[in-house]
Amino acid sequence: MPHSLPPAAPLRGRFDRFLILGAVCLAGFVLPLNFTGPPIATPAIAAELGGSPAALTWMTNAFMLAFGSCLMAAGALADGVGRKRVFGIGIAAFGVASSLLAFVPDLFWLNVLRVVQGVAAAAALSGGNAALAQEFHGAARLRAFSLLGTTFGIGLAFGPSLAGWLTQTHGWRSIFLSSVVVATAATVFGLPRMRESRDPAAAGIDVPGSLAFTAMLAAFTAGVLEAPARGWGHPLVLAALIGSGLLLALFVRIEQRSRRPMLDLALFRYPRFIGAQLLPIGTGFCYLVLIVLLPARLIGVEGYGALQAGLLMIALSLPMLVVPFVGAVASHRVPPGVLCSGGLLLAAAGLVWLGRADPGAGWIAPLLLIGIGAAVPWGLMDGLAISVVPKERAGMAAGIFGASRVSGEGVTIALASAALATFLGAGLQAALPGHAGRVAEIAQHLGIGDLAQARALLAPTLDPATLIGVYERAFGHLVDALAAATTVTAVLVLSLFGGASAHDIANTHEAPAARADGRPERVADCGAHG
Protein backbone atom coordinates (compact mmCIF):
# COMPACT_ATOMS: atom_id res chain seq x y z
CA MET A 1 0.00 0.00 0.00
CA PRO A 2 1.46 3.41 -0.84
CA HIS A 3 2.23 5.63 2.09
CA SER A 4 0.39 8.89 2.46
CA LEU A 5 0.23 11.80 4.83
CA PRO A 6 -2.41 11.77 7.57
CA PRO A 7 -5.38 14.05 6.99
CA ALA A 8 -4.16 17.65 7.09
CA ALA A 9 -5.29 20.00 9.79
CA PRO A 10 -7.62 22.74 8.57
CA LEU A 11 -5.72 25.31 6.60
CA ARG A 12 -4.55 28.26 8.61
CA GLY A 13 -6.19 31.62 8.20
CA ARG A 14 -4.65 34.09 5.81
CA PHE A 15 -3.02 36.10 8.64
CA ASP A 16 -1.49 33.02 10.30
CA ARG A 17 -0.07 31.79 7.01
CA PHE A 18 1.31 35.25 6.37
CA LEU A 19 3.12 35.17 9.74
CA ILE A 20 4.46 31.67 9.04
CA LEU A 21 5.77 32.83 5.68
CA GLY A 22 7.24 35.93 7.35
CA ALA A 23 8.99 33.83 10.01
CA VAL A 24 10.57 31.49 7.45
CA CYS A 25 11.56 34.49 5.32
CA LEU A 26 13.20 36.09 8.39
CA ALA A 27 15.23 32.91 8.78
CA GLY A 28 15.97 33.01 5.06
CA PHE A 29 17.23 36.57 5.55
CA VAL A 30 19.38 36.17 8.66
CA LEU A 31 21.10 32.90 7.69
CA PRO A 32 22.87 34.24 4.56
CA LEU A 33 23.46 37.54 6.39
CA ASN A 34 25.82 35.57 8.62
CA PHE A 35 27.64 34.31 5.55
CA THR A 36 28.24 37.61 3.74
CA GLY A 37 28.41 39.91 6.77
CA PRO A 38 31.48 38.64 8.69
CA PRO A 39 33.92 38.83 5.70
CA ILE A 40 33.68 42.62 5.69
CA ALA A 41 34.64 42.60 9.38
CA THR A 42 37.70 40.39 8.77
CA PRO A 43 40.24 43.25 9.22
CA ALA A 44 38.60 44.26 12.51
CA ILE A 45 38.45 40.63 13.73
CA ALA A 46 42.09 40.05 12.73
CA ALA A 47 43.18 43.21 14.56
CA GLU A 48 41.51 42.04 17.80
CA LEU A 49 41.86 38.25 17.70
CA GLY A 50 44.87 37.79 15.39
CA GLY A 51 45.15 34.63 13.30
CA SER A 52 46.77 33.44 10.08
CA PRO A 53 45.21 34.12 6.66
CA ALA A 54 44.13 30.45 6.49
CA ALA A 55 42.42 30.61 9.89
CA LEU A 56 40.64 33.82 8.93
CA THR A 57 39.48 32.22 5.66
CA TRP A 58 37.96 29.34 7.62
CA MET A 59 35.76 31.86 9.45
CA THR A 60 33.62 31.91 6.30
CA ASN A 61 34.23 28.37 5.08
CA ALA A 62 33.46 26.70 8.43
CA PHE A 63 29.95 28.16 8.38
CA MET A 64 29.40 27.32 4.71
CA LEU A 65 30.64 23.73 5.03
CA ALA A 66 28.52 23.00 8.09
CA PHE A 67 25.50 24.71 6.56
CA GLY A 68 25.75 23.05 3.14
CA SER A 69 26.72 19.57 4.26
CA CYS A 70 23.93 19.28 6.85
CA LEU A 71 21.02 20.55 4.75
CA MET A 72 20.07 17.21 3.22
CA ALA A 73 20.27 15.42 6.58
CA ALA A 74 18.22 18.20 8.17
CA GLY A 75 15.62 17.88 5.41
CA ALA A 76 15.31 14.14 6.02
CA LEU A 77 15.11 14.75 9.78
CA ALA A 78 12.33 17.32 9.23
CA ASP A 79 10.31 14.79 7.21
CA GLY A 80 10.80 12.15 9.90
CA VAL A 81 10.43 13.87 13.29
CA GLY A 82 8.44 16.95 12.29
CA ARG A 83 9.03 20.06 10.20
CA LYS A 84 7.91 22.50 12.90
CA ARG A 85 10.09 20.81 15.52
CA VAL A 86 13.24 20.91 13.39
CA PHE A 87 12.62 24.55 12.42
CA GLY A 88 12.10 25.53 16.07
CA ILE A 89 15.21 23.73 17.34
CA GLY A 90 17.29 25.08 14.46
CA ILE A 91 16.31 28.75 14.79
CA ALA A 92 16.68 28.64 18.60
CA ALA A 93 20.13 27.01 18.38
CA PHE A 94 21.13 29.56 15.75
CA GLY A 95 20.20 32.38 18.12
CA VAL A 96 22.18 30.82 21.00
CA ALA A 97 25.27 30.27 18.83
CA SER A 98 25.05 33.84 17.52
CA SER A 99 24.89 35.23 21.06
CA LEU A 100 27.96 33.19 22.07
CA LEU A 101 29.85 34.40 18.97
CA ALA A 102 29.48 37.96 20.23
CA PHE A 103 31.69 37.09 23.23
CA VAL A 104 34.36 34.74 21.80
CA PRO A 105 37.87 35.25 23.25
CA ASP A 106 39.89 34.01 20.25
CA LEU A 107 39.70 32.92 16.63
CA PHE A 108 39.65 29.20 17.46
CA TRP A 109 36.36 29.44 19.37
CA LEU A 110 34.96 31.78 16.74
CA ASN A 111 35.51 29.12 14.06
CA VAL A 112 34.12 26.35 16.31
CA LEU A 113 30.95 28.33 16.96
CA ARG A 114 30.66 29.13 13.26
CA VAL A 115 30.38 25.37 12.68
CA VAL A 116 27.63 25.14 15.31
CA GLN A 117 25.91 28.14 13.75
CA GLY A 118 26.05 26.47 10.32
CA VAL A 119 24.49 23.22 11.59
CA ALA A 120 21.69 25.18 13.29
CA ALA A 121 21.14 27.21 10.13
CA ALA A 122 20.72 24.00 8.12
CA ALA A 123 18.02 22.76 10.52
CA ALA A 124 16.19 26.09 10.50
CA LEU A 125 16.18 26.47 6.71
CA SER A 126 15.27 22.86 5.88
CA GLY A 127 12.57 22.64 8.55
CA GLY A 128 11.16 26.05 7.58
CA ASN A 129 11.12 25.24 3.86
CA ALA A 130 9.41 21.92 4.43
CA ALA A 131 6.83 23.48 6.77
CA LEU A 132 6.14 26.20 4.23
CA ALA A 133 5.45 23.61 1.54
CA GLN A 134 2.62 22.21 3.69
CA GLU A 135 0.91 25.60 4.08
CA PHE A 136 0.90 26.72 0.43
CA HIS A 137 -0.18 24.83 -2.66
CA GLY A 138 -0.04 25.19 -6.45
CA ALA A 139 0.75 28.66 -7.73
CA ALA A 140 0.69 30.07 -4.17
CA ARG A 141 3.53 27.72 -3.23
CA LEU A 142 5.58 28.91 -6.20
CA ARG A 143 5.04 32.54 -5.15
CA ALA A 144 5.87 31.77 -1.50
CA PHE A 145 9.14 30.09 -2.38
CA SER A 146 10.00 32.84 -4.84
CA LEU A 147 9.57 35.33 -1.98
CA LEU A 148 11.73 33.15 0.25
CA GLY A 149 14.42 33.03 -2.42
CA THR A 150 14.26 36.79 -2.72
CA THR A 151 14.70 37.35 1.03
CA PHE A 152 17.59 34.86 0.98
CA GLY A 153 19.14 36.95 -1.78
CA ILE A 154 18.53 40.20 0.11
CA GLY A 155 20.27 38.73 3.17
CA LEU A 156 23.26 37.81 1.03
CA ALA A 157 23.24 41.12 -0.80
CA PHE A 158 22.88 43.52 2.10
CA GLY A 159 25.06 41.57 4.53
CA PRO A 160 28.18 43.61 3.64
CA SER A 161 26.36 46.95 3.94
CA LEU A 162 24.80 46.11 7.31
CA ALA A 163 28.01 44.54 8.58
CA GLY A 164 30.04 47.55 7.48
CA TRP A 165 27.73 49.91 9.36
CA LEU A 166 27.64 47.73 12.48
CA THR A 167 31.42 47.21 12.49
CA GLN A 168 32.18 50.89 12.14
CA THR A 169 29.58 52.11 14.64
CA HIS A 170 29.27 49.32 17.23
CA GLY A 171 32.15 46.89 16.59
CA TRP A 172 32.26 43.56 14.77
CA ARG A 173 30.64 41.61 17.62
CA SER A 174 27.39 43.49 17.04
CA ILE A 175 27.01 41.62 13.72
CA PHE A 176 26.24 38.43 15.64
CA LEU A 177 24.08 40.18 18.24
CA SER A 178 21.85 41.53 15.44
CA SER A 179 21.26 37.94 14.32
CA VAL A 180 19.94 37.07 17.78
CA VAL A 181 17.24 39.74 17.43
CA VAL A 182 16.07 38.46 14.03
CA ALA A 183 16.14 34.80 15.12
CA THR A 184 14.07 35.66 18.20
CA ALA A 185 11.46 37.46 16.07
CA ALA A 186 11.18 34.46 13.73
CA THR A 187 10.69 32.13 16.72
CA VAL A 188 8.11 34.27 18.51
CA PHE A 189 5.90 35.21 15.55
CA GLY A 190 6.08 32.10 13.36
CA LEU A 191 6.64 29.01 15.46
CA PRO A 192 3.39 29.07 17.52
CA ARG A 193 1.32 29.30 14.32
CA MET A 194 2.96 26.43 12.46
CA ARG A 195 1.17 23.09 12.40
CA GLU A 196 3.30 20.01 12.89
CA SER A 197 3.64 17.68 9.91
CA ARG A 198 5.82 14.76 8.95
CA ASP A 199 6.17 12.07 6.30
CA PRO A 200 5.07 8.71 7.80
CA ALA A 201 7.20 6.89 5.24
CA ALA A 202 10.38 8.69 6.31
CA ALA A 203 13.15 6.43 7.57
CA GLY A 204 15.21 8.90 9.60
CA ILE A 205 18.62 10.37 8.94
CA ASP A 206 20.97 8.64 6.55
CA VAL A 207 23.97 8.81 8.92
CA PRO A 208 26.56 7.08 6.66
CA GLY A 209 25.52 9.25 3.70
CA SER A 210 25.58 12.43 5.78
CA LEU A 211 29.06 11.69 7.12
CA ALA A 212 30.41 10.82 3.66
CA PHE A 213 28.93 13.99 2.13
CA THR A 214 30.30 16.23 4.91
CA ALA A 215 33.75 14.64 4.77
CA MET A 216 33.81 14.95 0.97
CA LEU A 217 33.05 18.70 1.08
CA ALA A 218 35.54 19.32 3.88
CA ALA A 219 38.35 17.42 2.12
CA PHE A 220 37.75 19.16 -1.21
CA THR A 221 37.59 22.64 0.37
CA ALA A 222 40.70 22.04 2.48
CA GLY A 223 42.63 20.81 -0.56
CA VAL A 224 41.60 23.78 -2.70
CA LEU A 225 42.39 26.34 0.02
CA GLU A 226 45.80 24.82 0.84
CA ALA A 227 46.87 24.44 -2.80
CA PRO A 228 48.05 28.04 -3.42
CA ALA A 229 50.33 27.98 -0.35
CA ARG A 230 51.65 24.41 -0.65
CA GLY A 231 51.37 23.83 -4.39
CA TRP A 232 48.84 21.73 -6.28
CA GLY A 233 51.28 18.80 -6.35
CA HIS A 234 51.91 18.75 -2.59
CA PRO A 235 51.14 15.33 -1.03
CA LEU A 236 48.66 16.77 1.49
CA VAL A 237 46.79 18.69 -1.24
CA LEU A 238 46.69 15.65 -3.53
CA ALA A 239 45.54 13.45 -0.65
CA ALA A 240 42.71 15.84 0.19
CA LEU A 241 41.53 16.14 -3.43
CA ILE A 242 41.81 12.42 -4.20
CA GLY A 243 40.16 11.63 -0.88
CA SER A 244 37.24 13.93 -1.72
CA GLY A 245 36.75 12.05 -5.01
CA LEU A 246 36.73 8.70 -3.21
CA LEU A 247 34.30 10.01 -0.60
CA LEU A 248 32.00 11.25 -3.38
CA ALA A 249 32.00 7.77 -4.91
CA LEU A 250 31.29 6.30 -1.46
CA PHE A 251 28.42 8.75 -0.95
CA VAL A 252 26.84 7.78 -4.29
CA ARG A 253 27.21 4.10 -3.44
CA ILE A 254 25.60 4.59 -0.02
CA GLU A 255 22.66 6.46 -1.53
CA GLN A 256 22.16 3.78 -4.20
CA ARG A 257 21.92 1.07 -1.54
CA SER A 258 19.83 3.03 0.96
CA ARG A 259 16.19 1.98 1.41
CA ARG A 260 15.17 5.62 1.86
CA PRO A 261 18.00 7.80 0.55
CA MET A 262 18.22 11.45 1.56
CA LEU A 263 19.30 12.17 -2.02
CA ASP A 264 17.18 10.45 -4.65
CA LEU A 265 19.82 9.94 -7.35
CA ALA A 266 17.12 9.00 -9.85
CA LEU A 267 16.23 12.69 -10.04
CA PHE A 268 19.46 13.34 -11.89
CA ARG A 269 18.03 11.53 -14.92
CA TYR A 270 15.86 14.57 -15.58
CA PRO A 271 17.26 17.66 -17.29
CA ARG A 272 15.20 20.28 -15.46
CA PHE A 273 16.25 18.97 -12.07
CA ILE A 274 19.91 19.28 -13.05
CA GLY A 275 19.22 22.76 -14.43
CA ALA A 276 17.72 23.87 -11.11
CA GLN A 277 20.85 22.75 -9.25
CA LEU A 278 23.09 24.66 -11.68
CA LEU A 279 21.36 28.00 -11.09
CA PRO A 280 22.88 28.70 -7.63
CA ILE A 281 26.29 27.66 -8.96
CA GLY A 282 25.95 30.22 -11.76
CA THR A 283 24.95 32.97 -9.34
CA GLY A 284 27.79 31.86 -7.09
CA PHE A 285 30.31 32.56 -9.86
CA CYS A 286 28.92 35.95 -10.85
CA TYR A 287 27.55 37.26 -7.55
CA LEU A 288 28.51 35.46 -4.33
CA VAL A 289 32.23 35.49 -5.07
CA LEU A 290 32.12 39.28 -5.35
CA ILE A 291 30.07 39.59 -2.15
CA VAL A 292 32.90 37.82 -0.27
CA LEU A 293 36.07 38.95 -2.08
CA LEU A 294 35.25 42.51 -3.10
CA PRO A 295 35.11 43.91 0.49
CA ALA A 296 38.63 42.57 1.10
CA ARG A 297 39.88 44.52 -1.90
CA LEU A 298 37.97 47.68 -1.05
CA ILE A 299 39.09 47.79 2.59
CA GLY A 300 42.52 46.18 2.50
CA VAL A 301 43.83 47.28 -0.90
CA GLU A 302 41.89 50.39 -1.89
CA GLY A 303 41.83 51.82 1.66
CA TYR A 304 38.05 52.15 2.12
CA GLY A 305 36.47 52.14 5.57
CA ALA A 306 34.09 49.28 6.43
CA LEU A 307 31.03 51.52 6.09
CA GLN A 308 32.26 53.11 2.86
CA ALA A 309 32.93 49.68 1.35
CA GLY A 310 29.51 48.45 2.44
CA LEU A 311 27.84 51.44 0.79
CA LEU A 312 29.62 50.80 -2.52
CA MET A 313 28.47 47.17 -2.35
CA ILE A 314 24.87 48.45 -2.42
CA ALA A 315 25.30 48.87 -6.19
CA LEU A 316 25.62 45.08 -6.40
CA SER A 317 22.87 44.47 -3.84
CA LEU A 318 20.16 46.94 -4.81
CA PRO A 319 18.71 44.95 -7.76
CA MET A 320 17.78 42.14 -5.32
CA LEU A 321 15.00 44.35 -3.96
CA VAL A 322 13.13 44.59 -7.27
CA VAL A 323 14.46 42.37 -10.05
CA PRO A 324 13.44 38.95 -8.60
CA PHE A 325 9.79 40.07 -8.49
CA VAL A 326 10.04 41.40 -12.04
CA GLY A 327 11.56 38.10 -13.12
CA ALA A 328 8.75 36.13 -11.44
CA VAL A 329 6.14 38.21 -13.28
CA ALA A 330 8.01 37.97 -16.57
CA SER A 331 8.17 34.17 -16.24
CA HIS A 332 4.45 34.03 -17.07
CA ARG A 333 5.29 35.26 -20.57
CA VAL A 334 8.93 34.26 -21.07
CA PRO A 335 10.17 30.68 -20.46
CA PRO A 336 12.03 30.51 -17.12
CA GLY A 337 15.03 28.83 -18.74
CA VAL A 338 15.40 31.72 -21.17
CA LEU A 339 15.06 34.27 -18.36
CA CYS A 340 17.59 32.56 -16.12
CA SER A 341 20.21 32.02 -18.80
CA GLY A 342 19.71 35.57 -20.08
CA GLY A 343 20.26 36.95 -16.58
CA LEU A 344 23.47 34.95 -16.17
CA LEU A 345 24.78 36.21 -19.52
CA LEU A 346 24.02 39.78 -18.45
CA ALA A 347 25.99 39.20 -15.25
CA ALA A 348 28.89 37.74 -17.24
CA ALA A 349 29.01 40.91 -19.34
CA GLY A 350 29.08 42.95 -16.14
CA LEU A 351 32.04 40.92 -14.86
CA VAL A 352 34.03 41.60 -18.01
CA TRP A 353 33.23 45.31 -17.62
CA LEU A 354 34.18 45.27 -13.92
CA GLY A 355 37.62 43.88 -14.70
CA ARG A 356 38.34 46.86 -16.94
CA ALA A 357 36.75 49.67 -14.91
CA ASP A 358 38.49 51.99 -12.47
CA PRO A 359 37.93 51.07 -8.80
CA GLY A 360 35.47 53.17 -6.84
CA ALA A 361 32.90 55.21 -8.76
CA GLY A 362 33.84 53.43 -12.00
CA TRP A 363 32.56 50.17 -10.50
CA ILE A 364 29.01 51.34 -9.83
CA ALA A 365 27.60 50.70 -13.32
CA PRO A 366 29.16 47.21 -13.82
CA LEU A 367 28.16 46.18 -10.29
CA LEU A 368 24.57 47.22 -11.03
CA LEU A 369 24.62 45.18 -14.24
CA ILE A 370 25.98 42.13 -12.40
CA GLY A 371 23.37 42.55 -9.66
CA ILE A 372 20.53 42.80 -12.18
CA GLY A 373 21.69 39.75 -14.09
CA ALA A 374 22.16 37.60 -10.97
CA ALA A 375 18.82 38.69 -9.48
CA VAL A 376 16.80 37.37 -12.45
CA PRO A 377 17.36 33.64 -11.70
CA TRP A 378 17.52 34.30 -7.95
CA GLY A 379 13.79 34.91 -7.62
CA LEU A 380 12.91 31.86 -9.72
CA MET A 381 15.24 29.06 -8.71
CA ASP A 382 13.64 28.11 -5.37
CA GLY A 383 10.21 27.75 -6.97
CA LEU A 384 11.65 25.81 -9.90
CA ALA A 385 13.53 23.42 -7.61
CA ILE A 386 10.63 22.72 -5.25
CA SER A 387 8.23 21.85 -8.08
CA VAL A 388 10.00 18.65 -9.11
CA VAL A 389 9.09 16.35 -6.18
CA PRO A 390 5.86 15.40 -4.39
CA LYS A 391 5.04 17.62 -1.41
CA GLU A 392 5.33 14.57 0.87
CA ARG A 393 9.07 14.72 0.21
CA ALA A 394 9.25 18.48 0.66
CA GLY A 395 12.00 18.10 3.24
CA MET A 396 14.07 16.09 0.77
CA ALA A 397 13.47 18.67 -1.94
CA ALA A 398 14.44 21.53 0.36
CA GLY A 399 17.49 19.61 1.53
CA ILE A 400 18.71 18.71 -1.96
CA PHE A 401 18.34 22.19 -3.38
CA GLY A 402 19.61 23.87 -0.23
CA ALA A 403 22.64 21.57 -0.11
CA SER A 404 23.44 22.10 -3.79
CA ARG A 405 22.97 25.85 -3.35
CA VAL A 406 25.06 26.37 -0.21
CA SER A 407 27.72 23.74 -0.87
CA GLY A 408 27.95 24.86 -4.51
CA GLU A 409 28.36 28.46 -3.40
CA GLY A 410 30.96 27.42 -0.83
CA VAL A 411 32.92 25.47 -3.43
CA THR A 412 32.81 28.34 -5.96
CA ILE A 413 34.10 30.76 -3.30
CA ALA A 414 36.89 28.37 -2.30
CA LEU A 415 37.84 27.90 -5.97
CA ALA A 416 37.78 31.66 -6.58
CA SER A 417 39.92 32.32 -3.49
CA ALA A 418 42.42 29.69 -4.62
CA ALA A 419 42.43 31.10 -8.17
CA LEU A 420 43.05 34.63 -6.88
CA ALA A 421 45.94 33.40 -4.69
CA THR A 422 47.38 31.49 -7.68
CA PHE A 423 47.16 34.56 -9.94
CA LEU A 424 48.74 36.66 -7.18
CA GLY A 425 51.56 34.16 -6.76
CA ALA A 426 52.35 34.22 -10.47
CA GLY A 427 52.26 38.02 -10.53
CA LEU A 428 54.49 38.31 -7.47
CA GLN A 429 57.03 35.87 -8.93
CA ALA A 430 57.37 38.14 -11.95
CA ALA A 431 57.31 41.47 -10.06
CA LEU A 432 59.52 40.47 -7.10
CA PRO A 433 62.10 37.96 -8.34
CA GLY A 434 64.25 38.47 -5.25
CA HIS A 435 61.56 37.23 -2.86
CA ALA A 436 60.65 33.87 -4.41
CA GLY A 437 60.78 32.05 -1.07
CA ARG A 438 58.03 34.19 0.47
CA VAL A 439 55.73 34.54 -2.53
CA ALA A 440 53.10 32.07 -1.25
CA GLU A 441 52.89 33.73 2.17
CA ILE A 442 52.73 37.22 0.66
CA ALA A 443 50.01 36.08 -1.78
CA GLN A 444 47.93 34.69 1.10
CA HIS A 445 47.98 37.99 2.98
CA LEU A 446 47.34 39.98 -0.17
CA GLY A 447 44.45 37.66 -1.10
CA ILE A 448 42.54 38.52 2.09
CA GLY A 449 43.26 42.24 1.62
CA ASP A 450 46.04 42.46 4.23
CA LEU A 451 48.26 44.83 2.24
CA ALA A 452 50.10 46.07 5.35
CA GLN A 453 51.29 42.59 6.35
CA ALA A 454 52.21 41.75 2.75
CA ARG A 455 54.44 44.85 2.67
CA ALA A 456 55.91 43.99 6.07
CA LEU A 457 57.00 40.58 4.77
CA LEU A 458 59.00 42.34 2.05
CA ALA A 459 60.34 45.65 3.31
CA PRO A 460 58.65 48.61 5.01
CA THR A 461 60.06 50.92 2.37
CA LEU A 462 58.61 49.00 -0.59
CA ASP A 463 56.41 51.13 -2.80
CA PRO A 464 52.85 49.80 -2.18
CA ALA A 465 52.00 50.61 -5.81
CA THR A 466 53.95 47.48 -6.81
CA LEU A 467 51.75 45.19 -4.73
CA ILE A 468 48.57 47.06 -5.69
CA GLY A 469 49.45 46.66 -9.37
CA VAL A 470 49.97 42.91 -8.91
CA TYR A 471 46.64 42.64 -7.10
CA GLU A 472 44.72 44.59 -9.75
CA ARG A 473 46.06 42.39 -12.56
CA ALA A 474 45.29 39.20 -10.60
CA PHE A 475 41.78 40.42 -9.81
CA GLY A 476 41.24 41.19 -13.50
CA HIS A 477 42.23 37.63 -14.42
CA LEU A 478 39.85 36.30 -11.76
CA VAL A 479 36.78 38.22 -12.96
CA ASP A 480 37.47 37.13 -16.55
CA ALA A 481 37.55 33.51 -15.37
CA LEU A 482 34.31 34.05 -13.43
CA ALA A 483 32.69 35.56 -16.53
CA ALA A 484 33.66 32.50 -18.57
CA ALA A 485 32.31 30.10 -15.92
CA THR A 486 29.05 32.08 -15.70
CA THR A 487 28.64 31.98 -19.48
CA VAL A 488 29.12 28.21 -19.59
CA THR A 489 26.54 27.79 -16.82
CA ALA A 490 24.06 30.00 -18.72
CA VAL A 491 24.38 27.85 -21.86
CA LEU A 492 23.89 24.65 -19.84
CA VAL A 493 20.81 26.05 -18.07
CA LEU A 494 19.19 27.02 -21.37
CA SER A 495 19.86 23.60 -22.89
CA LEU A 496 18.46 21.77 -19.83
CA PHE A 497 15.30 23.85 -19.34
CA GLY A 498 14.70 24.46 -23.03
CA GLY A 499 11.69 26.57 -23.90
CA ALA A 500 9.32 25.07 -21.32
CA SER A 501 6.87 27.63 -19.96
CA ALA A 502 6.30 28.31 -16.25
CA HIS A 503 2.88 26.64 -16.56
CA ASP A 504 4.45 23.45 -17.94
CA ILE A 505 7.02 23.37 -15.15
CA ALA A 506 4.53 24.16 -12.35
CA ASN A 507 2.19 21.41 -13.54
CA THR A 508 4.82 18.73 -14.02
CA HIS A 509 3.07 15.51 -13.04
CA GLU A 510 4.27 13.78 -9.91
CA ALA A 511 4.50 10.14 -8.97
CA PRO A 512 3.02 8.36 -5.96
CA ALA A 513 5.03 9.14 -2.84
CA ALA A 514 6.48 5.64 -2.42
CA ARG A 515 5.97 1.94 -2.93
CA ALA A 516 5.38 -0.45 -0.08
CA ASP A 517 9.14 -1.01 0.22
CA GLY A 518 9.66 2.70 0.88
CA ARG A 519 11.47 3.51 -2.37
CA PRO A 520 10.05 6.06 -4.82
CA GLU A 521 7.69 4.50 -7.35
CA ARG A 522 8.54 7.12 -9.95
CA VAL A 523 10.01 10.57 -9.44
CA ALA A 524 8.56 13.72 -10.93
CA ASP A 525 9.07 13.91 -14.65
CA CYS A 526 11.01 17.13 -14.91
CA GLY A 527 12.43 16.55 -18.33
CA ALA A 528 12.57 19.38 -20.81
CA HIS A 529 9.65 18.36 -22.91
CA GLY A 530 6.23 19.89 -23.44
CATH number for the domain spanning 501: value is 1.20.1250.20
pLDDT of residue 138: 67
pLDDT digits (tens, 9 = 90+) for 248-298: 999 889 888 877 676 777 777 777 778 888 998 999 999 989 988 888 888
CA–CA gap between residue 166 and residue 490 (Å, rounded): 36
Query: Which of 257, 276, 297 is the C-terminal boundary of a domain?
Result: 257
Structural domain includes residue 511: no
Is the domain of 83 the same as that of 220? no
How far apart are the C-alpha atoms of 210 and 107, rounded to whole Å?
A: 27
Residue 151 or 355, more confident: 355
| Residue 279 and residue 253 share a domain | no
User: Is the confidence at residue 527, as pLDDT, over 60?
Assistant: no
* End-of-domain residue from the set 257, 280, 296: 257
For residue 521, tell me if it sits in a domain: no
Residue 117 forms part of a structural domain: yes
Q: Is the pLDDT of residue 150 over 80?
A: no
The answer to whether residues 166 and 200 belong to one domain is yes
Give residue 366's pLDDT.
96
- Domain check: are 196 and 62 in the same one? yes
- In terms of domains, do 239 and 338 share one? no
Please count the CA atoms within 13 angstroms of the CA of 485 that sit on its side-chain side. 22
Query: Rounded mean pLDDT of 464-474?
Result: 85
Residues 145 and 386: beta-carbon distance below 8 Å: yes
79 Cβ contact list (under 8 Å, min separation 6): 130, 198, 199, 202, 393, 394, 395, 396
Shared domain for 397 and 452, answered yes or no, is yes
141-144 contact pairs (CB < 8 A, 24+)? 141/383, 141/386, 142/383, 142/386, 142/387, 142/506, 143/328, 143/383, 144/21
Q: Which domain holds residue 249?
A: 207-257
Q: Are residues 151 and 110 in the same domain?
A: yes
Whether residues 194 and 302 share a domain: the answer is yes
pLDDT at position 504, please? 60
For residue 507, what pLDDT is reported?
Answer: 58
Answer whether residue 5 is part of any domain: no
Residue 487 is predicted with a pLDDT of 97
The pLDDT tens digits of the residues spanning 324-340 come to: 888 878 888 888 889 99
* Number of domains, the chain: 2
> Does residue 498 sit within a domain?
yes
Between the two ends of the chain, the Cα-to-Cα distance in Å is 31
- Are residues 211 and 199 part of one domain? no
Span 98-145, pLDDT tens digits: 999 999 998 889 999 999 998 998 888 888 877 877 777 766 776 777
Kindly report the number of other CB atoms within 10 A of residue 21's CB atom: 22
Do the domain assignments include residue 43? yes
In the listed set 257, 288, 322, which residue is the last one of a domain according to the structure?
Answer: 257
pLDDT on residue 71: 78
Question: At residue 19, does pLDDT exceed 90?
Answer: no
> Is 468's pLDDT higher than 90?
no
Residue 216 shares a structural domain with residue 309: no
214 and 196, same structural domain? Answer: no
Do the domain assignments include residue 375? yes
User: For 196-335, where are the E strands, in sequence order?
Assistant: none
Per the domain annotation, does 7 fall within a domain?
Answer: no
Note the pLDDT of residue 520.
42
Query: Is there a single domain that holds both residue 401 and residue 327?
Result: yes
